[in-house]
Amino acid sequence: GAVNMPLDQLSVDAVKTTPFERRFNPYDFNGGTTVAIAGDDFVVCAGCTRMSTGYEIQSRNQSKLFALTDQTVLTAAGCMSDVTTLRRMLGARLTQYEHSHAAAMSSSAVAQLLSVTLYYRRFFPYYAFCMIGGLDEEGRGAVYGYDAVGSFKRDDYGCMGSGQNYIMPILDNLIGHKNRLDEKKSFTAEEVVAIVKEIFVIATERDIYTGDSVEIKVIRKSGISTEVFPLKHD
Amino acid sequence: QESGLKIRYPLSHTKTMAFATMDLSFLSDPGVFAKGQHAEDDDARGDLQMARSIDIQSFPLAPVSSPYTFCEDVRKHGNAPGLMDFKHGTTTLGFVFKHGIIIAVDSRASMGSYIGSQTVKKVIEINSFLLGTMAGGAADCSFWERHLARLCRMHELRTKERISVAAASKLLANIFFQYKGQGLSCGTMVAGWDKKGPSLYMVDDSGERFKGERFSVGSGSPFAYGVLDSAYDRNMSVEDAVELGRR
């Protein structure tokens, strides 16, 4: 019946006969997964580069990691438009801070700034699930995880985005050393990068929004290094 | 501005005369009580005046017909999966006894059906003699208690005297009253020492404020009340009190 009708007639009839609602919907879930792991003197931040909407892929090469200073990286998954605006808000405040203090903002100060910036939109939130990775005042790695309105907490590791439910248990076990009987060991930056690559391969297997490639940034006292590791494209 | 308040004016003439000289601007702007008298001075930072003041008009609202229920509507329709699952804290309790106040909190936070964290700090140090607890929305509690810390500090600097717990809890309650109905979720206890000794107030996201000896807030509170009521004794020692809080 309806399948054989020409397309324009189909839509006109649908408007006339079926009820539908119009709703202001500013949000779009663009998918993606981000991970951040802190070590003794480094932080590894990683995010897959796939950007999707619904069941379509919009870009295979959209970064989710943003270096705010040379010791702090913001990782944000969710809606890319909100993430971009959030980045610009933060960037403006950071630039003002640098001009008036003649020094870059410390990671803990950036973490608090992001929390307040997110909370200023408490009634119309940014659709961004953020984490901040950076070195604290003593040079130890710190990861701060946020919810959508700015509640944050310092952690040793964190993971956000569509693959969160697949990855978090692995991080809890490997990095958090939960429910393990062997002795806890501290990892070097290279070992953590290898773990992160494996984790993204695992997440790509089951999560449709994760894949294409993973961008990995390692923050050390000397600066930030970046690496891109390819993942499955399907 | 519809606030739903019904104010009845006394009809006697002497009272009316007194009213004529009072500043009744609070009737149209209940936020006055939440800010303190010197709010404009606080917010002006000279050349760097770029941080928005914490004012009800300054929180951007969604351009929809009912902006205050926007978050709930988005959650119900599932257009933004996971967005409106804010972090929630679960159980906190506090009680006053002879030697002071015990505050006991658990450390789990949930985000929807996901356990957001097992190591959340739910006790927020407002200043060195005032503590606030977090139950309900984690971001709401930590943001407004941090704001309260700022107001308390300004009070201390202006009056050269520490703020009383009653005044601090009143400021917080007025802030929540201002945002009543907009979806904030907070059940917090303000505890501290002032000139009157230890005081414990429970402040709610609807602007309710109660002074009391024993409170428990959160999803585990009925169970916590049971344990607390059975073993509470005002004259117990510090060790016993800590043990009771732990239980």
Burial of A34 from C-beta contacts in 10 A (0-12 / 13-18 / 19+): buried
Which of A223, A224, A76, A71 is CA-nearest to residue A142?
Answer: A71
Q: What is the pLDDT of residues A181-231, one digit of tens each?
A: 999 889 999 999 999 999 999 999 999 999 999 999 999 999 999 999 999
Q: How far is CA A194 from CA A73, A201, A214, A225, in A?
A: 19, 11, 12, 15
B74 touches chain A (CB under 8 A): yes
B133 is catalytic: no
Which of B86, B27, B215 is CA-nearest to residue A147?
Answer: B86
Q: Which residues of B touch A177 (CB under 8 A)?
A: none
Q: In this structure, is residue A21 part of a structural domain? A: no
Give the pLDDT of residue A217.
Answer: 97
Looking at the 3D structure of chain A, how many domains does it have? 1
Q: Which residues of A touch B114 (CB under 8 A)?
A: 164-165
- Amino acid type, B221: S
Q: In this structure, is residue A201 part of a structural domain? A: yes
Q: Under an 8 A CB cutoff, do A127 and B120 touch?
A: no
Give the pLDDT of residue B66.
Answer: 84
Q: In this structure, is residue A94 part of a structural domain? A: yes
Which of A49, A45, A29 is CA-nearest to residue A37?
Answer: A45
* Whether the complex's predicted ipTM surpasses the cut of 0.85: no
C-alpha B73/C-alpha B66 separation (Å) is 9
Q: How far off is chain A from B59, nearest CA to CA, in Å?
A: 6
Q: In this structure, is residue A10 part of a structural domain? A: no
Q: Under an 8 A CB cutoff, do B48 and A96 touch?
A: yes
Q: Under an 8 A CB cutoff, do B52 and A78 touch?
A: no
A47-56, A157-166, B61-70, B221-230: segment of lowest average pLDDT: B221-230
Chain A interface residues (partner B, CB cutoff 8 A): 23-27, 29, 78-79, 96, 100, 115-116, 118-125, 127, 129, 145, 147-151, 153, 155, 164-165
C-alpha A68/C-alpha A74 separation (Å) is 7
Domains and CATH numbers, chain B: 26-77 (no CATH), 92-246 (3.60.20.10)
Identify any residues that bridge with A66 across adjacent strands, giving them in sequence order: A74
For B140-170, b/e burial (b = at least 16 CB within 10 A) is: bbbbbbbbbbebbebbeeeeeebbbbbebbb
C-alpha A225/C-alpha B10 separation (Å) is 72
The three-state (H, E, C) secondary structure of A24-46, written as one string: CCCCCCCCCEEEEEECCCCEEEE
Region A56-60: mean pLDDT is 94
Q: In this structure, is residue A31 part of a structural domain? A: yes
Give the pLDDT of residue B54.
Answer: 45
Give the pLDDT of residue A20.
Answer: 64
The domain that contains A204 carries what CATH number?
3.60.20.10
Return the number of CB contacts < 8 Å for A and B.
92
Compute the C-alpha angle B46/B51/B52, nearest 5°. 115
Give the pLDDT of residue B16.
Answer: 46
C-alpha A164/C-alpha A170 separation (Å) is 10
Q: Indicate if the alpha-carbon torsion angle A153, A26, A23, B62 is positive or negative.
A: positive
Q: What is the pLDDT of residues A145-155, one digit of tens each?
A: 999 999 999 99
Q: Helix A80-101 vs helix A107-119: angle between axes, to the nearest 10 degrees? A: 130
Give the pLDDT of residue B53.
Answer: 43
Give the pLDDT of residue B105.
Answer: 83
Give the pLDDT of residue B104.
Answer: 85
Q: In this structure, is residue A46 part of a structural domain? A: yes
Helix (H, G, I), strand (E, B) or coil at B29: coil
Q: Which of B75, B79, B115, B180 to mutate to test the interface with A (most CBs of A within 10 A)?
A: B79
Q: In this structure, is residue A18 part of a structural domain? A: no
The secondary structure element, H or E, covering residue B149 is helix B138-159
Q: Which residues of B touch A153 (CB under 8 A)?
A: 117, 119-121
What are the phi and psi torsion angles at B206 (to 5°)? Answer: -90, 5
C-alpha A131/C-alpha A111 separation (Å) is 9
Give the pLDDT of residue B242.
Answer: 78
Split chain B (247 residues) into runs of 10 and give each run's mean pLDDT.
54 48 70 65 49 56 86 84 82 87 78 65 84 87 89 91 93 90 88 92 93 86 81 81 77
Q: What is the pLDDT of residues A89-144, one digit of tens each?
A: 999 999 999 999 999 999 999 999 999 999 999 999 999 999 999 999 999 999 99
Q: Contact at 8 Å (CB) between A115 and A153?
A: no
Domain with A81, as residue range(s), is 26-230
Q: How far off is chain B from A5, nearest CA to CA, in Å?
A: 30
Residue B238, number of CB atoms within 10 A of its CB: 12
Q: Contact at 8 Å (CB) between A83 and A75?
A: no
- Written as six digits, the tokens of B240 are 């016993």
Q: What is the pTM of this model?
A: 0.82
Per-residue pLDDT band at A12 (split at 50, 70, 90): low
Q: In this structure, is residue A93 part of a structural domain? A: yes
Give the pLDDT of residue B90.
Answer: 73
Q: What is the side-by-side strand order in the sheet with A213-220?
A: A157-161, A33-38, A43-48, A213-220, A223-230
The secondary structure element, H or E, covering residue B109 is strand B109-111
